[in-house]
Amino acid sequence: MIPLASILQPLEDAAEAVLQFFHDDVGLTWGTSIIALTIVVRALLIPLTYKQIKGMRALQALQPQLKAIQDKYKSDRQRMQQEVMRFYQENKINPLASCLPLILQLPVFFALFRLLQGDSFEQDVEASGGAGWFFIESVVEKPHGVETIVLMLLFAGSMALSTIVTMRSSPTAGGNQQYILIGAFTLMGVFFVPTFPAGLSLYWITTNFWTVGQSYVAAKLIPAPAMAPAEELAAAKPPPPPPRKKKKRR
């Protein structure tokens, strides 16, 4: 098996090069450089995200038919799953496409974690005399005191907000499950922020706010399809054929 470190090393080197470019050449602080790195990563994912949103909008347009299938086979969950998957295949819908942008961000996240934890980069940051950023004392150190509380509030708030807007734009979201997920993602901040370098929290908070802004822009550029009322859809369906009369035997 290929070690994980070998896979992440090119991404780690690329992240370091981008951070050093923004810090050394552009003149940004290390904290602002991490924000700029986040924007670069999300900007590179825009074509894929656009395709993902278009797919979700298409699924929203087909939601009445999907719900009809679910209602028809609600007593047989196995048959329901088979019919739903057939429906996805016939309409060329990939239900996992919405997860792809997040999955592609994870290697960058782990590479940045390894970079911030590395002794060489930490020495470079500390030697520059500018490891702090606003209320953060050092982007390569774990937060403490008031710094931890502020980061936790920003992390929890941005995570909850990004989860809400993402689920509202998802045609399959709904019910109490979305609130459970929002609470679970928000609570992640309680365990995440104090454990990892402050720069990593800054990266995640920035990507959360990007997701919120992206959702509002997508709503303007790629509006959700107009949904016909259930009564109108039912009226548009052709009436069922009359039952065949059995021929009497002579």
User: Which of 6-15, 28-37, 237-246 is least confident?
Assistant: 237-246
The model's confidence at residue 174, banded by pLDDT at 50, 70 and 90, is very low
The model's confidence at residue 162, banded by pLDDT at 50, 70 and 90, is confident
How high is the pLDDT of residue 71? 85
How high is the pLDDT of residue 16? 94
How high is the pLDDT of residue 55? 76
Instruction: Give 72-94 pLDDT, tens digit per residue.
Output: 888 888 888 888 888 888 877 77
This prediction's pTM: 0.79
Instruction: Give 187-242 pLDDT, tens digit per residue.
Output: 777 788 999 999 999 999 999 999 999 988 888 887 766 655 545 545 545 555 55
CB 86 within 8 A of CB 95: no
Instruction: Give 39-77 pLDDT, tens digit per residue.
Output: 999 999 998 888 878 777 777 777 788 888 888 888 888
- Tokens 């365990």 — which residue? 191
